[in-house]
Structure 1
Amino acid sequence: MSKPLFYISLLPFIMVLGNSMMIPILPDMQSELHLTEKESGYILSFFSFPAAIIIPFIGFLSDRFGRKILILLSLFFVIGGSVLCAVSIWFPHPFIWLLIGRVIQGIGAAGTTPLAMAIIGDAVDRTRQGEAFGLLEVFNGVGKVVAPIVGATAAAIYNWNLAFVFVIIVTVLSLVGIFKTIPNKKSGNQVNSIRNYLQDLIYVLKSKWLEIFPLFYMGAVGLFLLFGILFYLSYYIEMTYHIDGFFKGTAFMFPLAAMTIVSYWTGKQLKNSGNFQSLTLIGISVMMVSFAGMEWNHSFHFFLFFLTIAFAGLGFILPCMNTAITSQVSDGERGFIVGLYGTARFIGVALGPTIFSIWIDDVGYMIRIVFILSFSMLLAFIFHQLIMKETQPYLQK
């Protein structure tokens, strides 16, 4: 692996750190800052909503100003927001300063993974792009597994704000490496005005909404369930077993590792439409059965077991959604569609902790809603397949 590719691969790792590292330390933050569960959910949501808003415009901005410049600017935002979050505890009204820092972090995070993918598309030879994109997924997966452990351990060693120092260190490493090793080049595409960009965006939505909405829905609901249930699990472990630090972080490792491993395997299997259909159905079925098992027995050990199986099911679904969205649109539409899909996913991430904080005291009700949402993913998939039969052949072999 070359140095430039290593530094680029740190970008999705940084995005994952932005939220995943916070999940196990939310109870500590709530206790020290005297927050409600709903307010602690804002700590995740105020990162995700700004990213959701900005992601659709990242491609346009990088075409106009260059990939490298926008990546460096994004990383400066991540560093600035992380510094503000780390020192917020020293200010009057620390929660307000913390949320401002999270917004700044989120603005910066919007330009990490999308620009990493764009710069690989520009600079890496086509024969090696598959390897490079695979490396991005590896760093993304490692981030999901490692981030909760790092966050919980940092809080146990000193305080929750130490977790933000780790984000700063990794981000500075990526920024310096990209500044030294990556040339600044624009995409080579014709750069439209913002007005024309918005017009094109609206046109794509009008012409493709029936085909893409079910895929957007499944991706958003999947991430909603992922971050919502992890938010609940953090409080469940804290309130029931009073476990903190490294051992609390390892509890998150099992479901996230299962999702990462299955996602990697699924990505290698996605070669044609038949694979897409069967793998998506397997994933949704696994999630529904697992959530039904939680309703049958939601003691901690059974809950963690069924959650690990459910997230393995999600590992089937998310790569299928990525492949479907990028494969069924033309080259000229792909940037718009992928950007909007990123927004849908981030909305799911943002809403998960906030909504689950309302259900946190009634686990039975929460699990029933979770099962209903997984069933709605099945309905969305069936609807998508019916639409595709009526409009056009699906993925081309």
Structure 2
Amino acid sequence: MKKIKSQKAVLIILLSNIFIAFLGIGLVIPVMPSFMNIMHLSGKTMGYLVAAFAVAQLIMSPFAGRWVDRFGRKKMITIGLLLFGTSELVFGLGTSVSVLYLSRILGGFSAAFIMPAVTAYLADITSIEERPKAMGYLSAAISTGFIIGPGIGGFIAEYGIRMPFFFAAAFAFIACALSLFILKEPLSKEQLAEISANTDQTNFFSDLKKSLNPVYFIAFVIVFVLAFGLSAYETIFSLFSDHKFGYSPKDIAAIITISSIFGVIVQVFMFGRMVNLIGEKKMIQFCLIAGAVLAVMSTVITGFWAVLTVTCFIFLAFDLLRPALTTFLSRAAGKEQGFVAGMNSTYTSLGTIAGPAMGGILFDVNIHYPYLFAAVIIVIGLGITVFWKEKQWA
């Protein structure tokens, strides 16, 4: 097992792949309202387009995880990047709604391929001691892609509303070519065959049934409720800013970028201390209260600075909520880490499918409804945490 330092080129390529995938997802956020206006799309359609990505990822993930062990990490990474580039290109060229749906489905498949393949590759090339550090780099690459994506997208959009999609496609094809020529498969065919044979053939449906056990169920319901409320809020944000305040892609990009950077700084420097001080459960409840109050405030504020301030704090609440919940679940899971992590991902995906679809439908009725709806859902989540007995987990 080589040290991370001696694997620098490989590590840079792997992290660049993840960075580019999430940069591509972020790039297109600020141009969505303008795209919606040009194509005469309803809020409902926009919500369904976001949900289509999550549905495709959810369906493909169980297969992709097995294929990573069967066909190798490198193959799955390059196929994922090729699919991602194609999906962005198709969206940029698309002039009918059916083509846009096809693009989002391809995008969901690509995310299902890239993520587990890169994670497995990193685990293969790092020692147990260095793995947390490598996974920290991975998490940072994802966050950075998300943060600077909307900013870059907002500026590229000045040269044409479809340009961010073409940029994202070009980035993905370059990353695909680099991966093809520079990455080497970390495991031999024999090792892959052995892993594939040993892969516990646990069934997705048996895991889902197990998640209904009262010990886990309340935690997973909160995961679902959060993903549902947050994605309903986040999907509608750029449409809401465009329709209510007439913000340009550049304005929307600035708000999202500043809010995200603020969230990451607090997360990096203060999250650990805050959790040690008040514990995960209180942290989760505090973030839920803040999220609900700020979602309601979003419907009554006016002026760029007020919008920026409220958005900064609501994104911060969401940014602190996710790791607090994940830490709580992993601490409570004991030996069931794999099962809990898998179900956490599944319930998050289910929420991410339902939230944007519901948010889009409500947006067409009244642009304030998705935010008020998100607040109600978050309050329900808060109510559920009251019944959360940590002793059940111990």
- Shared fold by TM > 0.5? yes
Q: Provide the C-alpha distance between the structure 2 equivalents of 1:337 and 1:273, rounded to a whole number of angstroms.
A: 25
Contact 1:47 1:105 in 2 (8 A): yes
Q: CA deviation at 1:317?
A: 1.3
Matched, 1:335 2:338: yes
Alignment of 1:372-383 (within 5 A): 372-383=376-387
CA, structure 1 residues 204+82, in 2 after alignment: closer, same or farther (shift >3 Å)?
closer
Query: Per-residue deviation at 1:104?
Result: 0.9
Letter in structure 2 aligned against 1:55: S
Q: Which runs of 5+ in 1 are unaligned?
A: none
In structure 1, the residue matched to 2:79 is 73
Query: Given that residues 60 and 112 in structure 2 are in contact (C-alpha distance below 8 angstroms), is that contact kept between their aligned partners in structure 1?
Result: yes
Counterpart of 1:191 in structure 2 is: 196
Kindly indicate whether the alpha-carbon contact (under 8 Å) linking 1:230 and 1:252 is maintained by their aligned counterparts in 2: no
Cα distance in 2 for partners of 1:266, 1:188 equals: 44
Partner of 1:165: 166
Do the aligned partners of residues 238 and 208 (structure 1) sit closer, same or farther apart at CA in structure 2, a change above 3 Å counting? closer
TM-score relative to the length of structure 2: 0.84
Which SS does the other structure have where 1:298 is aligned? coil
Single out whichever of 312-321 and 241-250 deviates more from structure 2. Answer: 241-250
1:232-243, aligned counterparts within 5 Å? 232-243=236-247
Q: Secondary structure at the match of 1:166?
A: helix
CA distance in 2, matches of 1:20, 1:216: 27
Unaligned runs of 5+ in 2: none
Provide the rounded CA distance (Å) in 2 between the counterparts of 1:207 and 1:252. Answer: 35
Bigger shift: 361-370 or 132-141? 361-370
Give the Cα–Cα distance (whole angstroms) in 1 for the partners of residues 121 and 260 of structure 2.
27
Q: What is the CA-CA distance between 1:14 and the residue it aligns to?
A: 3.8
Q: Is the 8 A contact 1:11 1:113 kept in 2?
A: no
1:173-188 residue pairs with structure 2 within 5 A? 173-179=174-180, 180-185=182-187
- 1:227 and 1:208 mapped to 2: Cα distance? 23
Q: CA deviation at 1:321?
A: 2.2
Q: Please, which moves more after superposition, 123-132 or 110-119?
A: 110-119
Query: Who is 1:48 aligned against?
Result: 54
Shift of 1:330: 5.4
1:226–1:271 CA distance, 2 compared to 1 (3 A): closer
Q: How many angstroms does 1:100 deviate by?
A: 0.8
The alignment yields a C-alpha RMSD, in angstroms, of 3.1
Matched, 1:16 2:16: no
* Equivalent residue number for residue 154 of structure 2: 152
Deviation at 1:97, TM superposition (A): 1.5
1:168-196, Cα deviation, whole Å (9 max, x unpaired): 23323332333313424256864359993
Q: Equivalent residues in 2 for 1:231-380 (5 A)?
A: 231-265=235-269, 268-269=272-273, 275-294=279-298, 297-301=300-304, 302-329=306-333, 333-360=336-363, 361-380=365-384
Relative to the length of structure 1, the TM-score reads 0.84
CA distances 1:199-250 after superposition (whole Å, capped 9, x unpaired)? 7x61574267434333333334333333332333312332344332423311
- CA gap of 1:29–1:229, structure 2 versus 1, over 3 A, is same
Answering whether residue 138 of structure 2 is matched by residue 141 of structure 1, we say no
Identity of aligned residues (%): 19
3-state DSSP of counterpart to 1:252: helix
Which amino acid in structure 1 is aligned with residue 257 of structure 2?
M
The change in CA–CA distance for 1:170 and 1:213 in structure 2 (over 3 A counts) is farther
Q: Which residue of 1 aligns with 2:225?
A: 221
Q: Quick one: which of 120, 123, 138 aligns to 2:122?
A: 120
Taking the aligned partners of 1:192 and 1:113, their CA distance within structure 2 comes to: 22
